[in-house]
Structure formats: structure tokens, C-alpha cells
Amino acid sequence: MSIVDTLGRLITVELLSSSLRMTTPVLYATLGGIFSSEAGVLNVGLEGLMIIGAFFGVVGSVALGSAWGGLLVAILACLILSLAFAAVHLEWGADEMIVGLALNIFGYGLTTYLLVVMYDVSGYYSSEAIAGFQPLHIPGVEKLPLIGSILGGQFALVYLGFLAVFATWFVLYRTPWGFWLRSAGESPEAAETVGINLKLMKYSGVLIGGILCAVGGAFLSLAHLNLFSEEMTAGRGFLALAAVNFGDRKPLKCLAASLIFGFADALAIRLQRFGLPSQLVLMLPYIATVVVLTLSAIQRLAAQRARMSVRG
């Protein structure tokens, strides 16, 4: 079979469609990471926040009987934890990496424990009581040529995700508040000179990050799957970190990175049907991350060198 044929069999509409869906959790976490990083706080605890979001999304969904209710509860839980994270770092001066790790360990531990305590199961919890998100069928979209079948029938949060990218860009680059946030992260001295409250900006960045991670996490457990399983985020929070790094905190570039990861995720599942061992294929997103980070670092060094030589 020729390469074109193989590619044709591989890259189906279904693959691209599920790529979009699998990009979404990472995308939200990435956007969350952008806000936090732009404020000057590197949050390696995105993973922990996502798993909390995933779990409490399910909790809320069962308790309130709707997926959007679950989303609300997830956001609340993540807000509380983000506040704790920010406080320990900003008020008590703890190293942001260690606190971020603590967030991850705590998130994993708490959700695993509560899984057993609240639902009397271990490993995973799946039930009729979990109200999941329903796919949205926007009339015009599905009729579009070529991309219609890929874009159509996605969950609302998928569409909102792309809107969120635009919103992130808009807030950061077209509103005064965005300038203040970015100046607090990039040049705290300059920000202070003009009277911007650094701490307030950093808290804001971290809290918004928490909210977005909550959305990403809740999407994971409530869209398409309708269950919560231990450690289901599987490192997506770290992939988000890599995406923020690769895209240099610019929303559009980070979106590109997230799409790559989502595609790799979906590809991994598809390749399994081809008989390729799932384990090998599931390594793809993580290997891609290392490659992507390396290329981005090399490019950054080259740009720096170019700038220095021009001035000399």
C-alpha cells in the first residue's frame, strides 16, 4: 500500500474531529497557564488543578443533575486551591515549583481518596447519575464544505475553547488590565514605577488560570466519557506547560501547540486500530513535547544571538 493510501486511511474525518475534542482540555489548561505565566508565576500545578476539576465536575454533575452545574462546582474547587497556591507562594515566599508539585500530589491524592470515600469504588467511577455534556449541533456549521463534518457536532466547550483563545488574546493585548498583567510578569520594576499593584496582578493571573484548568478538567470527565478515573489527566497539565513554553505565551502559537498534542492524542487512539501497539503510540504526545520544546529553545537562542550581534 502506498504512503498516500495509508495516510488516507489514517487521517479520516473522524480522526480530525476527535483531535479537536482531545485538544480542548489541554487548550483550556494552556490558556490558564498563559495567564499565570504572563503575571510572572510559573504554575507547574496545572495537572493537579485539572484532576480536581475533573473530579469535582463529576461531583457537581451528580449533585446538581447537570453538566454545567458540574462545571460550576469544578471552578469553585479550583478557585479555592489556586488561592491556596497563590497565597503560599506570594505571601509566604515558597518556591513556585515546589508549591506547584505539592498541588499535583495533593490533587492526585485527594481525588483518589474521595473517589473511594464518596462513591465506594476504586479505579474509576461511572454512573447513570453523571450528566454529561451533549454535543451541539449548530445548523450552519455542519453544512460547510470539507470542514463541516469536522467542526460540526462538537461539544459547546470545544467551540468556546476557540473563542477563549480569542478572548485571551483580546484581554491580554487589547485591554489596559492585560497590559498591567503582562508588565507585572515581564518587568515588575517598570510596573511598580507606574504604581501597578504587583501582588494583585499575580493573584489574578493564578486565579484565572485555576478557573480555566477547572474547565479543561471538567471537560475531560464530562464530555464524551462521563466518568472519572484515577489520574485521568495523564500528564495533560504538563503538556499544557510545554505548550505555554513552546508558544512563548502567545495565545495563537500556544493554540498551535495544543492542536499538535490533541492530534497526537487522537492519532494514538486511531493507530491502535491499525494494530500498532497502543503503548508505543501513546508515547507520541510526550515525545512530541520534548521535540517541540527543544526546537523552540534552539530558535530562541538563535534569535538572541542575532539580536546581540546587531548591536555590538
Partner 1 sequence: MTARTEAEVVTDTSRLRAMLSSAGLQLLNYALILLLALGVGALAIAASGKDPVAAYQALLRGAFGSVRALANTLDRSTVMILAGLAAVLAFSTSVRNLGIEGQLYMGAFIAAWVGFGIDGLPSLLHIVLAFVASAIAGAAWGLVPILLRTRWDVDEIVTSLMFNYIATFFTAYLVAFPFKSDTTILPGTDPINATAKLPRFIRGSPLSVGFPMALVLVVVVYWFLFRTKQGYELRMVGMNPRFAAYAGLPVKRSALLGMLLSGAMAGVGGASLILGFFGRFITQFSLGYGWDGIVISLLAKNNPIAVIPAAIFYAGLANGSLEMQSATQVPTMLVSTVKGVIMFIVTAQVFLRHLARRSPR
Partner 2 sequence: MAEAVAMLGITKQFPGVLANDDVDLVVEGGEIRAIVGENGAGKTTLMRILYGLEKADKGTIRVKGEEVAIPNARTAIALGIGMVHQHFKMVPSFTVAQNVVLGMEPHRGVLYEEGQSRNDVLGLSSRYGLVVEPDRRIMDASVGEQQRVEILRALYRKADILILDEPTAVLTDSETEELFAILRRLAQDGLTILFISHKLREVLAISDNTTVMRNGRVVGTVRTAQTTSDELSEMIIGRASLESASRDRAAAKVGEAVLDLEGVCVHDARGLLAVKSVSLQVRSGEILGIAGVEGNGQLELAEAITGLRPTAEGRIALLGNEIQNLSVRQIREAGVAHIPADRYAMGVSADALVWENLCGTSYYEEEFSGRIALSIDSILSNARVLIKEFDVRTPTLHCPARNLSGGNLQKLVVARELGAERAQLVVASQPTRGIDIAGTEAIRSMLMDYASRGAGVLLISADLDEILAISDRVVVMYEGQLTEVGTVDASTRERVGRIMTGADL
Out of 187, 278, 294, 299, the residue judged to bind partner 2 by CB under 8 A: 187
Q: Which amino acid is at 220?
A: L
**Which residue, 21 or 202, has its beta carbon nearer to partner 2?**
202
The three cell numbers locating residue 238 = 504538563
Total of residues contacting partner 2 (CB under 8 A) = 25
Q: Which residues contact 249 (CB under 8 A, 6 or more apart)?
A: 34, 37, 38
Cell 510526550 found at: 286
Burial of 280 (0-12, 13-18, 19+ CB in 10 A): exposed
Per rule CB under 8 A, count of chain residues that contact partner 1: 45
φ and ψ of 137, to 5 deg: -110, 95
In eight-state DSSP terms, residue 155 is: B
Q: Which of 14, 8, 25, 9 is nearest to 258 (CA)?
A: 25
The torsion region of residue 137 among left (phi > 0), alpha (psi -120 to 50) and beta comes to: beta
108: contact with partner 1 by CB under 8 A: yes
Phi, psi at residue 283, to the nearest 5°?
A: -75, -20
109 forms part of the interface with partner 1 (CB under 8 A): yes
- Which CB sits closer to partner 2, 224 or 253? 253
Residue 60 and residue 58: Cα distance in Å, rounded?
Answer: 5
- Residue 207 Cβ, how far from partner 2 at the closest point, in Å? 18
Q: Which of 5, 120, 128, 189 binds partner 2 (CB under 8 A)?
A: 189
Query: According to CB under 8 A, which one of 4, 117, 146, 194 is a site residue for partner 2?
Result: 194
Residue 68 interacts with partner 1 (CB under 8 A): yes or no: no
Residue closer to partner 2 by CB (options 26, 41) is 41
With binding defined as CB under 8 A, does residue 122 bind partner 1? yes
- Residue (40 or 216) nearer to partner 2, CB: 40
Residue 3 lies near partner 1 (rule: CB under 8 A)? no
CB 147, min distance to partner 1, A:
31
- Rounded to the nearest 10 degrees, how much is the dihedral formed by the CA atoms of 121, 124, 130, 136? 180
| CA dihedral over 155, 115, 214, 34, signed as positive or negative | negative
Q: Which is nearer to partner 2, 172 or 220 (CB)?
A: 172
Closest by alpha carbon to 239, among 21, 46, 18?
A: 46
185 scored as a contact of partner 1 (CB under 8 A): no
> Which 127-186 positions form the footprint of partner 2 (CB under 8 A)?
174-180, 182-183, 186
Summarize as ranges the residues that interact with partner 1 (CB under 8 A).
44, 84, 88, 92-95, 97-99, 101-102, 105-110, 112-113, 115-117, 122, 234-235, 238, 241-242, 245, 277, 279-280, 282-283, 286-287, 289-290, 293-294, 297-298, 300-301
Summarize as ranges the residues that interact with partner 2 (CB under 8 A).
174-180, 182-183, 186-187, 189-196, 307-312
